[in-house]
Amino acid sequence: MIPVNTPYLGGKEKEYLIECIDTTWISSEGPFVHRFESEFSTFVGREHGIACCNGSVALDIAVRALGIGEGDEVIMPSFTIISPAASVVNEGAQPVLVDSDPVTWQMDATAIEAKITSKTKAILVVHIYGYPADMDPILALAQKYNLKIIEDAAEMHGQTYRGKPCGSFGDISTFSFYPNKHITTGEGGMVVVDDPELAERCRSLRNLCFLPHQRFVHEELGWNYRMTNIQAALGVAQLENIDKVLIKKREVGRLYNQLLADCPNIELPPEKIDYADNVYWIYGFTLSDEFPHNAKWVMEQLGKHKIGTRPFFYPMHLQPVFKKRGWFENESYPVAERMAERGLYIPSGLGITKEQQEQVAETLKEIMRHA
Ligand SMILES: *Cc1c(COP(=O)(O)O)cnc(C)c1O
């Protein structure tokens, strides 16, 4: 079996984990948490990092901290993981969707302005798969209409937009450290901000909104979304290797592009666009319209050859959970729909070897040629 992802834990992970055990610091009070917050936020070029237990709850904190709630609208891509939409909906606000760019797969910045209303509070940017969203026009709109930017950079540790780090653009930006991300803590996430008051608010929301000088007294409700010292120990070790990780990711992507250059009926991801080099968080591609089968079929064939795959995201406007509420009726986002139907990704984790990549590419070509 070639799994779709295997993480890399070959740095000081073991050493730091043993330190947690030896010192008995295992809760969120341990020293690795601050160290990880400080080192990671510096890496992203932000003033403050607030570590939490995963990337989804980092978005919960971001949305609540900005005061987004009942009656507010938040513009986001239809083509995304559910987490950003869930965070907005759980606060009682309404997601408003835009389609994606067919080449970069990022939210279509040119489609945003038409969706802005008097209720719009924020644009929730989600950088997806390999490239950042086109930030300049999005930031210009935020300025023009006085909107907040929430930046979901869960897949973008170390990626840049016109040379500036992803995660440095939002009023609040968030990361995930799930094992398929460039840096993993098993489960984990982080909110990064510059504004000290906003940072304090995020810290409070993460920790049940205990009053600083009157523990067990609460003026509002938060969550226990804390990260443990054990998770943070992994994070510190992982961050030490981020440069190597980014090199490896790009090597994996480029090698697949070479190996699959002569594969019929697939559209390969571009290696670079004008504002960024592809970081290939996952190596994904779409099947051409001429190909008679969809992504599900190709995934089944690869599965028979013991090659792990994942489908692309399923668009928000088609999600049963939102359709039940009568949302997004008569809305269509053809690029998002096409990516969901015709997109998939193949093994591209940090643990993959060149030989495995060759085997995956050969098998895929065989399947595509004989379909
Ligand atoms: C992984 C991911 C998340 C969720 O992070 P978890 O840590 O798995 O909760 C959110 N947004 C994007 C874009 C992601 O890729």
pLDDT for the residue numbered 352? 96
Find the mean pLDDT for residues 233-241. Answer: 98
Tens digit of pLDDT for each residue in 182-218? Answer: 999 999 999 999 999 999 999 999 999 999 899 999 9
Domain 243-369 fold is: Aspartate Aminotransferase, domain 1 (3.90.1150)
User: For the chain, what are the domain ranges?
Assistant: 13-239, 243-369
Give the predicted TM-score (pTM) of the model. Answer: 0.98
Give the C-alpha separation, 199 to 176, whole Å: 18
Give residue 296's pLDDT band: very low, low, confident or very high (50, 70, 90). Answer: very high
Give the C-alpha separation, 304 to 256, whole Å: 20
Same fold, 13-239 and 243-369: no
Tell me the CA–centroid distance for residue 129 and ligand 1, in Å: 11
Nearest CA to ligand 1 atom 7: 55
Name every protein residue with a CB atom under 6 angstroms from any ligand 1 atom: 54-56, 81, 83, 126, 152, 154-155, 176, 178, 189
Tokens 């835009």 correspond to what residue? 98
Give residue 366's pLDDT band: very low, low, confident or very high (50, 70, 90). Answer: very high
Domain 13-239 has CATH 3.40.640.10: yes
Tokens 């939102």 correspond to what residue? 322
Tell me the CA–centroid distance for residue 87 and ligand 1, in Å: 12
Tell me the CA–centroid distance for residue 182 and ligand 1, in Å: 12
Pairing of strands 343-346, 73-77: unpaired
Give the C-alpha separation, 157 to 95, whole Å: 25
Find the mean pLDDT for residues 258-263. Answer: 98
Tokens 């079929």 correspond to what residue? 297
pLDDT cut 90: percent of the chain above it: 99
Return the DSSP state at 33: H
Tell me the CA–centroid distance for residue 144 and ligand 1, in Å: 29
pLDDT for the residue numbered 194? 98
Tens digit of pLDDT for each residue in 146-190? Answer: 999 999 999 999 999 999 999 999 999 999 999 999 999 999 999
Q: In what order do the strands lie in the sheet with 148-152?
A: 48-52, 189-193, 172-176, 148-152, 120-126, 73-77, 94-98
Give residue 226's pLDDT band: very low, low, confident or very high (50, 70, 90). Answer: very high
Tens digit of pLDDT for each residue in 196-205? Answer: 999 999 999 9
pLDDT for the residue numbered 45? 98
Find the mean pLDDT for residues 332-359. Answer: 97
